[in-house]
């Protein structure tokens, strides 16, 4: 799931200090799960921001509402009536959620409360690790379930680079495991080393426009002939 | 454990939420013919041995249905039960299909909004840590 982290409070104050009425909108999806933008965190944000406003001799009325999923039009209409009473919105969703709110409520400034960090896994409560950069051409089938884009310091598709240390760490740091060493060990264990002996073509990173995904079966609905 | 809101401001906000969604809630509750067709499209129902408490209609009737009928004035233990129903037993994936067009996820989302105002919601650090991997 998407992992995020709250922005420095000073930055949020700087963005919102000109407003008297602020609506803090949490997300009940990914950012709740990673303890950055759920109900409790959004309430904490309200408390902390109100305090900073006071310390700076300002006052603002700050309210909290949590939308179950800010990336879905179905749910973001929940604040339609409310939003009229506020000068701006602080969204504690990922960047996608912030953008959907901003698109839906165009006349209101919508500020991000969080820095969206990565697609990652939950190691433990409050501990997350990046594992996917949504490259659009998943290599895990060849690489023993270890992502070379995310875990290799150089994001190599055909590794290792030659800089692997004798202890299996990466040349950039002895603390960083060499992803390609791990890939090799995993594939060897599964008798699949031949998977990485053939050369994989480089990823086409040139298409940098925002992507659109249409699931198969839905083409006729969205693609005009 | 969540902190429970008993103040009148919270009750007013709940009344406000229910008021805004009144037509949808009333129509949906009266339109449901208990055909159970929605259950087939719910992966939570299918992956939990077809336990009837995972049926989308059951989740709706026993969450927002109860909340609406009692105008949000339910006991804490009732809210606690509703919380399990609408967070643990539904992920709001929006895949449930109702032949009468009832929007089950919207109703469950509404129940969640009420529960949040009441101080009952899922916090994702309340469950025990998973195994080290
Ligand atoms: S808006 Fe972002 S954080 Fe919220 S559910 Fe959607 S993807 Fe996850
Ligand atoms: S190769 Fe890595 S970055 Fe690309 S989709 Fe797979 S896991 Fe994600
Ligand atoms: S939204 Fe909830 S009830 Fe509907 S299919 Fe998904 S889990 Fe089931």
Ligand number, closest to the Cα atom of A142: 2
Which residue is closest to A124 within chain B, CA to CA?
A: B129
- Whether the CB of B21 sits within 6 Å of ligand 3: no
Closest partner residue to B124 among A38, A74, A123, by Cβ?
A38
Confidence of residue A87 (pLDDT cuts 50, 70, 90): very high
Residue/partner pairs of A174-177 with CB below 8 Å, 24 or more apart: A177/A151
CA distance A59 to A22: 11
Q: Which pLDDT score, from 0 to 100, does residue A150 have?
A: 95
Read off the CATH number of the domain in which B70 is found: 1.10.1060
Domain that holds residue B88: 9-117
CA distance B127 to B125: 6
How many CB atoms are closer than 10 A to CB A64?
A: 21
Domains contained in chain B, number: 1
Judge whether residue A196 has pLDDT over 80. yes
Determine the average pLDDT of the residues in A142-155.
95
pLDDT digits (tens, 9 = 90+) for A97-134: 999 999 999 999 999 999 999 999 999 889 999 999 99
pLDDT digits (tens, 9 = 90+) for A46-85: 999 999 999 999 999 999 999 999 999 999 998 999 999 9
**Residue B125 CB partners (closer than 8 Å, separation 6+):** A35, A125, A126
What does the domain layout of chain A look like in residue ranges?
Answer: 2-118, 136-197
Determine the average pLDDT of the residues in B74-90.
96
**Residue A8 CB partners (closer than 8 Å, separation 6+):** none
Q: Which pLDDT score, from 0 to 100, does residue A217 have?
A: 85
Q: Which pLDDT score, from 0 to 100, does residue A218 have?
A: 83
Find which of A61, A74, A127 to mutate to test the B interface (most B CBs within 10 Å of its CB). A74
Q: How far is A201 from chain B (nearest CA, A)?
A: 32
Confidence of residue B101 (pLDDT cuts 50, 70, 90): very high
Q: Which pLDDT score, from 0 to 100, does residue B6 have?
A: 67
Q: Which pLDDT score, from 0 to 100, does residue B129 have?
A: 46
CB contact under 8 A, B105 and A32: no
CA distance A204 to A157: 12
Judge whether residue B131 has pLDDT over 60. no
pLDDT digits (tens, 9 = 90+) for B27-54: 999 999 999 999 999 999 999 999 999 9
| Radius of gyration over every alpha carbon of chain A, rounded to an integer in angstroms | 22
In a domain, B44, yes or no: yes
Residue B86 gets which letter from DSSP? I
In a domain, B83, yes or no: yes
Hey, is the C-beta of A81 within 8 angstroms of any chain B C-beta? Answer: yes
CA distance B71 to A103: 34
Q: Which pLDDT score, from 0 to 100, does residue B130 have?
A: 41
Judge whether residue B94 has pLDDT over 50. yes
Q: Which pLDDT score, from 0 to 100, does residue A30 have?
A: 96
The domain defined by A2-118 carries CATH number 3.40.50.170 = no
Chain B residues inside the 8 Å CB shell of A125: 124-125, 129
Q: How far is B35 from chain A (nearest CA, A)?
A: 25
Considering chain A, what is the average pLDDT of its residues?
94
Q: Whose CA is nearest to atom 4 of ligand 3?
A: B96
- Report the nearest atom of ligand 3 relative to the CA of B105: 1
Q: What is the rounded (10 degree) CA torsion for B21, B90, B98, A78?
A: 30
**Residue A106 CB partners (closer than 8 Å, separation 6+):** none
Cis preceding-peptide flag for A160 (omega within 30 of 0): yes
- At residue B25, the 3 state secondary structure works out as helix
Structure tokens at B85: 């129903």
Q: Which pLDDT score, from 0 to 100, does residue B125 have?
A: 83
How many CB atoms are closer than 10 A to CB B19?
A: 10
Three state DSSP letters for chain A: CEEEEECCHHHHHHHHCCCCEEEEEEECCHHHHCCCCCHHHHHHHHHHHHHHHHHCCCCCEEEEEEECCCCCHHHHHHHHHHHCCCCEEEEECCHHHHHHHHHHCCCCCEEECEEEEEEEEEEECCEEEEEECCCCCCCCCCCCCCCHHHHCCCCCCCCCCCCCCCCCEECCEEEEECHHHHHHHHHHHCCCHHHHCCCCCCCCCCCCCCCCCCCCCCHHHHCCC
In a domain, B127, yes or no: no
Specify whether the CB–CB gap between A31 and A114 falls below 8 A. Answer: yes
């Amino acid at each position: 799931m998407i992992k995020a982290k709250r922005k420095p409070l000073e930055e949020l104050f700087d963005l919102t200090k000109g407003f008297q009425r602020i609506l803090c909108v949490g997300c009940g999806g990914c950012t709740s799960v990673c303890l950055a933008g759920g109900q409790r965190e959004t309430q904490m944000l309200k408390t902390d921001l109100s305090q900073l406003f006071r310390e700076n001799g300002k006052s603002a009325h700050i309210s909290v509402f949590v939308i179950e999923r800010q990336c879905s039009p179905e749910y973001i209409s929940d604040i339609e009536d409310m939003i009229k009473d506020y000068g701006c919105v602080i969204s504690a969703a990922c960047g996608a959620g912030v953008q959907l709110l901003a698109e839906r409520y165009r006349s209101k400034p919508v500020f991000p409360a969080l820095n969206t960090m990565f697609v990652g896994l939950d190691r433990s409560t409050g501990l997350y690790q990046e594992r996917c950069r949504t490259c659009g051409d998943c290599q895990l089938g060849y690489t023993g379930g270890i992502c070379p884009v995310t875990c290799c310091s150089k994001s190599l598709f055909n590794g290792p680079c030659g800089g692997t240390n004798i202890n299996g760490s990466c040349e950039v740091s002895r603390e960083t495991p060499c992803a390609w060493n791990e890939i090799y060990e995993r594939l060897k264990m599964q008798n699949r080393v031949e998977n990485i002996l053939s050369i994989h073509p480089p990823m086409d990173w040139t298409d940098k426009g925002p992507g659109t995904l249409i699931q198969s079966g839905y083409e006729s609905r969205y693609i005009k002939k | 454990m969540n902190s429970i809101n008993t103040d009148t401001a919270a009750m007013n906000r709940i009344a406000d939420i229910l008021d805004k969604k009144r037509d949808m809630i009333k129509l949906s509750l009266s339109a449901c013919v208990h055909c159970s067709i929605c259950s087939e499209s719910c992966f939570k129902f299918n992956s939990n041995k077809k336990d009837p408490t995972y049926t989308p209609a059951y989740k709706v009737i026993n969450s927002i249905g109860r909340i609406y009928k009692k105008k949000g004035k339910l006991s804490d233990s009732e809210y606690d039960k509703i919380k399990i129903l609408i967070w643990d037993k539904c992920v709001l994936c929006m895949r449930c299909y109702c032949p009468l067009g009832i929007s089950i996820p919207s109703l469950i989302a509404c129940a969640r909004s009420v529960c949040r105002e009441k101080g009952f919601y899922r916090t994702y650090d309340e469950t025990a840590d998973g195994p080290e991997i």
